């Protein structure tokens, strides 16, 4: 717990530096225009806050759209957001997108019609980012996107928009490093190559794409030969992780030396299949995930997972609220400066207890 706080504090500090860099305008004229706008917006934000206070209420109405409530990691994230926002006196409404972009579009439109002061959106489809950004821009609502990162180009359409998340490449690299840190660097049978299966999240999501690519890249960059026995989408889902691992273990047997899962929930599912097949993690197979869910931390401590990577839900929630408040205070973000990242942290049996 202590370490998690420290990490978060570090992340906050780096975010502040990042945000300050984002303040700079390209020319004096632009800066003046931006400042005038910012001043006006600050005044408006002050007025909103004063009105809220006058009505005996909190610091404003915030609409939060989550891609689906039924996602293990996003549940932790949602709880963290709720605690922070309510703790600061905001009135918050959370909507469940139920993994349906049309449903989420309606929810965004409803929030706008209700006149929320700011939106925090975890898009259902990254490919819907253009439409989401156009909608919030049209309504002039300060918006923080979380967890599913659009491109810098897409975000540049609206200066009152920020993305807060992590750089998924980092988590993939750390997964590869967890395997490289084992006694035989993942080559359990000593045949000169690491044979793995990859259980992917929703491939539409950049987190799934990068984790898939960079976990293997860490191995090849270290000079290891690799063999991909299978790659399948498990859509971040525990049951799908279990099914894929079960089928592959039946098909490839002892040839599988490593199971890479793009997240912990799928890894927990894969672990059930590994145990049912009579295999033993860290002895005849390695298993890694991402997120550091409580269940995964327990398995890392018990030696049933080789490791995981902390996806800092608390740090990201704090970052999202901070960015939202900056927007409410009138801050605008220049193109190319709209992504704010929180660091991932490698989790092994040695440090897992620090995150529990």
The binding site for ligand BGC (CB under 6 A) comprises 71, 73-74, 147-148, 205, 207, 236, 263, 265, 290-291, 311
Euclidean distance between CA atoms 235 and 199, whole angstroms: 9
Q: Closest CB to ligand BGC among 205 and 242?
A: 205
CB of 331 to ligand BGC, least distance (A): 26
Nearest to 76 by CA among 340, 302, 316: 316
Q: Closest CB to ligand BGC among 205 and 314?
A: 205
Q: Closest CB to ligand BGC among 69 and 252?
A: 69
Q: Closest CB to ligand BGC among 71 and 177?
A: 71
Q: Closest CB to ligand BGC among 195 and 311?
A: 311
CB of 5 to ligand BGC, least distance (A): 21
Q: DSSP string of 244-282? A: HHHHHHHHHGGG--EEEESSHHHHHHHHHHHHHTT--BT
CB of 220 to ligand BGC, least distance (A): 23
Euclidean distance between CA atoms 336 and 31, whole angstroms: 16
DSSP 8-class letter at 141: -
Q: Closest CB to ligand BGC among 135 and 147?
A: 147
Q: Closest CB to ligand BGC among 41 and 145?
A: 145
Q: Which residues, other chains included, contact 95 with Cβ-Cβ below 8 Å and sequence gap of 6+?
A: 63, 64, 65, 66, 104, 107, 111
Residue 189 and residue 257 in contact, taking contact as beta carbons nearer than 8 Å: yes
CB of 173 to ligand BGC, least distance (A): 15
CB of 289 to ligand BGC, least distance (A): 8
- Residue found under tokens 């199971």: 259
Residue 308 and residue 288 in contact, taking contact as beta carbons nearer than 8 Å: yes
Count of beta carbons in the 10 Å neighbourhood of residue 248: 21
H/E run at residue 196: strand 193-200
CB of 216 to ligand BGC, least distance (A): 17
CB of 257 to ligand BGC, least distance (A): 23
Nearest to 315 by CA among 77, 156, 74: 77
């Amino acid at each position: 717990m202590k370490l998690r706080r420290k990490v978060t504090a570090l992340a906050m500090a780096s975010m502040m530096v990042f945000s300050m860099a984002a303040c700079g305008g390209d020319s004096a004229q632009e800066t003046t225009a931006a400042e005038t706008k910012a001043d006006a917006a600050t005044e408006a934000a002050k007025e909103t806050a004063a009105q809220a206070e006058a009505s005996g209420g909190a610091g404003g109405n915030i609409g939060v759209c989550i891609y689906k409530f039924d996602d293990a990691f996003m549940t932790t994230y949602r709880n963290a957001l709720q605690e922070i926002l309510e703790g600061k006196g905001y009135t918050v409404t959370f909507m469940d997108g139920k993994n349906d972009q049309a449903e989420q579009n309606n929810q965004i439109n409803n929030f706008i019609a209700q006149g929320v002061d700011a939106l925090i959106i975890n898009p259902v489809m990254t490919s819907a980012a253009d439409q989401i950004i156009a909608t919030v821009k049209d309504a002039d609502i300060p918006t923080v996107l979380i967890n599913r990162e659009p491109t810098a180009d897409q975000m540049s359409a609206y200066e009152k928009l920020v993305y807060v998340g992590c750089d998924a490449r980092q988590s993939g690299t750390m997964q590869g490093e967890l395997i490289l840190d084992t006694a035989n660097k993942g080559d359990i049978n000593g045949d000169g190559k690491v044979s793995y299966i990859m259980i992917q999240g929703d491939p539409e999501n950049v987190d799934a794409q990068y984790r898939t690519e960079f976990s293997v890249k860490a191995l090849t960059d270290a000079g290891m030969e690799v063999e991909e026995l299978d790659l399948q989408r498990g859509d971040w889902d525990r049951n799908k992780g279990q099914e894929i691992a079960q089928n592959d273990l039946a098909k490839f047997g002892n040839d599988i030396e490593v199971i890479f899962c793009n997240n912990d929930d799928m890894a927990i599912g894969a672990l059930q299949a590994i145990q049912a097949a009579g295999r033993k993690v860290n002895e005849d197979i390695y298993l890694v995930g991402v997120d550091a869910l409580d269940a995964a931390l327990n398995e890392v401590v018990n030696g049933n997972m080789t490791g995981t990577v902390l996806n800092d839900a608390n740090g990201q929630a704090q970052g999202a609220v901070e960015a939202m408040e900056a927007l409410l205070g009138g801050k605008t973000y220049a193109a190319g400066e709209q992504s704010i990242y929180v660091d991932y942290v490698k989790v092994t049996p040695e440090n897992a207890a620090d995150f529990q």
